[in-house]
């Protein structure tokens, strides 16, 4: 993941921006799940939870958005 590489290079804001861009370009439940998973890996659980909540409102009942992931 580009976001992980950016974070390892101390470029956290760019990492988050790359995840935001991914969900805008690839507007699917799986893209949101991957972004949330990456945010959690980066230690930003609140942002991951918020992103998942938003995705669950858009795609209620989608198995890919259920935890654990």
C-alpha distances (whole Å) from 42 to each of 27, 35, 67 are 22, 10, 18
Cis peptide before 39 (omega within 30 of 0): no
Task: Quick: pLDDT tens for 23-66.
Answer: 999 999 999 999 999 999 999 999 999 999 999 999 999 999 98
pLDDT score at 14: 94
Reported as half-sphere exposure (CB side, CA atoms, 13 A), residue 25 has a value of: 7
Measure the CA–CA gap between 28 and 13, rounded to whole angstroms.
Answer: 23
Q: According to the model, what pLDDT value does residue 1 have?
A: 78
């Amino acid at each position: 993941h580009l976001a992980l590489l950016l974070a390892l290079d101390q470029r956290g804001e760019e990492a988050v921006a790359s995840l935001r861009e991914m969900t805008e370009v690839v507007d699917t439940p799986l893209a949101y799940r991957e972004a949330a998973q990456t945010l959690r890996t980066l230690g930003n659980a609140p942002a991951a939870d918020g992103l998942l909540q938003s995705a669950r409102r858009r795609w209620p009942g989608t198995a890919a958005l259920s935890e654990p992931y």
